[in-house]
Amino acid sequence: MVSKRSGTLEEIQENSSERHIMTLSILGAGNIGSALAGHFAKKSIPISIANSRGPASLEPLCKKLGSNIKAVELAEALQADMVILALPFSAVALLTDKTDWAGRIVIDATNAIDFPAFTPTDLGGKLSSEVVAELLPGARVVKAFNTLPAVVLGGIPEEAAGRRVIFLSGDDAEGRAAVGAVIESLGFAPIDLGNLAAGRSQQFGEPLVMRNLLLQA
């Protein structure tokens, strides 16, 4: 399991009393999944990646990004300690019974959007991440990486003027700390908004979406 200590991803892993290396995976290898995989590759942080079509379909991406990015079957990716959801919001419901979600940290990068209107899906007053948390029972859901367009997210996180901001929110403080450490390790500046309800402003249709901000040193 993930250490209770906070810090960078490396510190969390090195301080872990169980000496357990936290495993990471990305579900989805489209715009957002590929952008994130690129950052893990640049920082030489091993991560697995999966889609619904199997590892062979991801060979070109993995070849381009290098050996730290490993294409796996969806079932294997679902076993990681920290799972990043980079797939359509509607696909999250398909994952409910695919693994035991209890205690697992899930980074929810999805947005619930109606196409082609490009408007927020009516979820009966619930936040999309609250719906995700209901769909993945026991998971420690942290919303992150959902506010920037993929082309911006995939760009350089550290500029001369500062580090690009990634907002996060979630009901589990330890989960938020672990996700913040991952965000730091990729070179971004995490801003922790608090619990899911407090993170409403980072949900699709709310003010923090599309805000490309730099945190000055």
Ligand X SMILES: NC(=O)c1ccc[n+]([C@@H]2O[C@H](COP(=O)([O-])OP(=O)(O)OC[C@H]3O[C@@H](n4cnc5c(N)ncnc54)[C@H](OP(=O)(O)O)[C@@H]3O)[C@@H](O)[C@H]2O)c1
Q: Which tokens hold the place of 129?
A: 């991440």
Is residue 212 a contact point for ligand X (CB under 6 A)? no
CA atoms within 13 A on the CB side of 198: 14
Contact 37, 47 (CB under 8 A): yes
Q: Does 32 bind ligand X (CB under 6 A)?
A: yes
Closest residue to ligand X, based on beta-carbon distance = 30
Q: Does 150 bind ligand X (CB under 6 A)?
A: yes
Q: Choose, by CB under 6 A, the member of 15, 30, 102, 103 that binds ligand X.
A: 30
- Nearest one of 50, 21, 200, 27 to 107, comparing CA atoms: 27
Q: Which is nearer to ligand X, 149 or 155 (CB)?
A: 149
The encoded tokens of residue 215 equal: 């945190």
User: Coil, helix or strand for 130?
Assistant: helix
Report the candidate in 152, 157, 147 with the shortest Cα–Cα distance to residue 215: 157
Is residue 167 a contact residue for ligand X (CB under 6 A)? Answer: no
> Total binding residues for ligand X by CB under 6 A?
24
Which of 94, 123, 156, 161 is close enough to bind ligand X by CB under 6 A? 94
The residue within the footprint of ligand X, chosen from 3, 38, 89, 208 (CB under 6 A), is: 89
**Count of positions (residues) in the chain:** 217
The yes or no reply on residue 40 touching ligand X (CB under 6 A) is no
Closest CA to 202 of 153, 121, 163, 148: 148
Binding mask 65-84 for ligand X (x = CB under 6 A): ---------x----------
User: Considering only residues 100-129, where is the footprint of ligand X by CB under 6 A?
Assistant: 109-111, 113
Q: How far is the CB of 81 from ligand X (least distance, A)?
A: 19
H/E element holding 190? Answer: strand 189-192
Which region, judged by CB under 6 A, interacts with ligand X, from 51-59, 60-68, 115-123, 179-187?
51-59
How far is 215 from 167, CA to CA, in rounded Å? Answer: 11
The DSSP-derived string for 76-115 is: HHTTSSEEEE-S-HHHHGGGTTTS--TT-EEEE----EET
- Point out which span in 21-29, 160-168, 173-181, 187-195 binds ligand X (CB under 6 A): 21-29
Measured from the CB atom, the residue of 86 and 131 that comes closer to ligand X is: 86
Candidate ranges 142-150, 162-170, 176-184, 191-199; the one touching ligand X (CB under 6 A): 142-150
What residue ranges bind ligand X (CB under 6 A)?
27-33, 51-53, 74, 86-89, 91, 94, 109-111, 113, 146, 149-150
